[in-house]
Amino acid sequence: MAPKWYPVIDIPACVECGTCVDFCPHDVYDKQKSPVPVVANPDGCIDHCHGCQKKCPAGAISYVGDAGDYLNAAPACCCTVEPETPKGRPLLIEYLYLDLDTCDRCIGTDAVLDEVVAVLRPALELAGYAVEYQKREMSTPQLAEQYHFLSSPTILVNGQDIFGAVQESNCGCCGEIAGADVDCRVFEYGGKTYEVPTKEMLANAILKSLNVQPTCTCGTYVLPENLKRFYEGKARKSENNLSCGCGCFCCE
């Protein structure tokens, strides 16, 4: 990855419509100079974000920096769809979770999603998509911040949460891990609530997401109190475990 990534304006081609200035949520452009696109804050640009380039009606925007292996990098900006590769249109499916050892919801959703991706992948590739499937444990608050993680488990398609609004209920498994009350995600479908989504639910949500216009969620992120309790409790129990010879937390 290049150390810098920011837009460069082709002045002769630019029509000075101000579209890029209005679109950019990261204050890369000097809004006081609008509609003339003046790159005043290049460090504010997000690596691999092609948002203003996609919006430019004159095709007058390029970028300093190498696009690199964007499918294997953390999604830096979810407000754009990356350009087609030689293998097809990028389709990155990411599974974000807190625990695959104890949490029944994470373990169950993981198994169902594996099956759904295995079934959908051939059809999606036949339709021209380059499918990439990755699993990411949100093991630290820093990772949660990087992915704007709101609840476990979460499934993203090209950076977009396929279920949108988050609904939660108390999760005894994660509460046991943290030694505190922790809520995990539940899923609404057909008028019913599921702790582990069904194959039909996941398949429909993934396919539906292909036709949804991406929305930018790159703004300020605040770690939800629910996750804060989980991380703090898990760290506290881990510290206690290190000081307890029997490893059963009886010395807390």
Residue 15: how many other CB atoms lie within 10 Å: 11
User: Does the pLDDT at position 37 exceed 80?
Assistant: yes
- The span from the CA of 227 to the CA of 183, in Å, is 8
pLDDT of residue 247: 46
pTM for the whole structure: 0.65
Angular region, 248: left φ>0, alpha ψ -120 to 50, beta rest: alpha
- Segment 178-199 shows an average pLDDT of 94
Q: What is the pLDDT of residue 225?
A: 96
The proportion of the chain whose per-residue pLDDT surpasses 70, expressed as a percent, equals 82
Instruction: Give, in order, the Cα–Cα distances in Å from 252 to each of 18, 24, 62, 174.
Output: 60, 50, 57, 19
When pLDDT is cut at 50, 70 and 90, the band that residue 89 belongs to is confident
Q: How far is it, in rounded angstroms, from Cα 251 to Cα 245?
A: 9
pLDDT at 207: 95
* Mean pLDDT, rounded, of the chain: 84
Rounded CA-CA distance 185/154 in Å is 8
pLDDT in tens, 171-181: 999 999 999 99
pLDDT score of 250:
44
Distance of CA 58 to the CA centre of its chain: 30
Q: What is the pLDDT of residues 214-228, one digit of tens each?
A: 666 666 789 999 999
CA distance 148 to 106: 18
Residue 1 burial class via C-beta count within 10 angstroms: exposed 0-12, middle 13-18, buried 19 and up: middle
* Residue of 51 and 249 predicted with greater confidence: 51
